[in-house]
Amino acid sequence: ALSLVWGVRAFYYDKAESTDQTIADVNNILKEEQLLNAGDVVINTAAVPIVKKGKTNMLKVSVIE
C-alpha cells in the first residue's frame, strides 16, 4: 500500500540479525543507492523483538552521518 504513496520506495531486506544491525544495514543501502545524504533525517520502523515480523512497535529517528 505504501508503494502507492508518492515518494515512497520499497526495498526487500531479509536478514534478521538484530534491530540495530537491520537499521544500520538499511541506512547504508540507502546511502549506497544515493537516496540518503549526510544530514538527512530518517525514520526507521521495526518490530521489537525482531522475530515479531509484521508488527511494527518501534521507530527510530536518526540523522545520517
Is residue 38 within 8 Å of 65, Cβ to Cβ? Answer: yes
The C-alpha atoms of residue 65 and residue 58 are separated, in whole angstroms, by 22
Domain residues for 56?
Answer: 2-63
Report the CATH number that the domain containing residue 7 is assigned in CATH: 3.40.1380.20
> Would you state the pLDDT for residue 10?
77
Work out how many domains the chain is built from and give that number: 1
Smallest CA-to-CA distance from 45 within 65, 64, 27 is with 27
Secondary structure (DSSP) of 1-65:
-GGGSTT---------S-HHHHHHHHHHHHHHTTS--TT-EEEEEE-SSTTSTT---EEEEEE--
In tens, the pLDDT along 8-65 reads: 777 788 887 888 898 999 999 999 999 999 999 999 888 888 776 667 888 999 999 9
